[in-house]
Amino acid sequence: MRGLAILLFSLFFATPATAQSPTRFATSPDAPIVVSGQTIILQELKNRALLNGNAKLLQGDLSMTATTMTIIFDPKQGDQAQDVFASDGVSVVDVKGQISHADEAHYNVAAETLELTGNVRVENHNPDAQLGTAQGQRLMINMRDGTSQIYSNAGSGRARIQLKP
């Protein structure tokens, strides 16, 4: 049963053959990362930046918002963003009509992976999509190959996917 749920969820995010069909969460790894917030505190000695109040990250077609974000820089890579941690009301939006909500997120920039945790809800607003919503406690998105996996915590229920008729 778990394999079927992962297969169905992979279809939810799979890249189809036609351009008008839904696509997967993706980012443009060569696109610059632009961040904003009500306050930004640069901590150069700690190689990080703290964003508070309506924090927002944009990279290509990907947009992430949260109350707070912490960006970890890699000084060995010319101070490139290495990791982004977001918390409190996280929303991840893809221009193709997919919106994910969670309590927390971890975006590993180099690996192009995004992990959402805590009360995860994925909504697909694309009318051509086969799947409508998905729910769980943890969502792992590999933006390189388009695979996604949703999990529930032991004892907290089950991961759930709702199909469109």
Query: Tens-of-pLDDT digits for all 165 residues of the chain?
Result: 343 333 333 334 433 322 222 345 667 778 899 999 999 999 999 999 999 999 999 998 889 999 999 999 998 887 789 999 999 999 998 777 788 999 999 999 989 999 999 999 988 876 666 667 888 899 998 988 878 888 887 666 777 777 766
User: Is 131 a member of any domain?
Assistant: yes
> Does the global pTM surpass 0.85?
no
- 131-157: string of b/e by CB count within 10 Å (b at 16+)? bbebbbbbbebbbeeeebbbbbeeeee
What is the rounded CA–CA span in Å between residue 41 and residue 60?
24
User: Is 66 a member of any domain?
Assistant: yes
User: Is 71 a member of any domain?
Assistant: yes
Q: What is the number of alpha carbons within 13 Å of residue 135 lying toward its C-beta?
A: 6
pLDDT at 133: 82
User: Is 29 a member of any domain?
Assistant: no
What is the rounded CA–CA span in Å between residue 52 and residue 61?
23
User: Is 142 a member of any domain?
Assistant: yes
pLDDT at 139: 92
User: Is 87 a member of any domain?
Assistant: yes
What is the rounded CA–CA span in Å between residue 149 and residue 61?
21
Tell me the backbone φ, ψ of residue 159, rounded to 5 degrees. -70, 145
User: Is 28 a member of any domain?
Assistant: no
Q: State the maximum Cα–Cα separation within the chain, in Å, rounded to a whole number.
A: 54
Number of domains, the chain: 1
User: Is 27 a member of any domain?
Assistant: no
The domain containing residue 159 runs over which residues?
2-21+35-163
Find the CATH number of the domain harbouring 8.
2.60.450.10
What is the rounded CA–CA span in Å between residue 40 and residue 36?
7
pLDDT at 9: 39
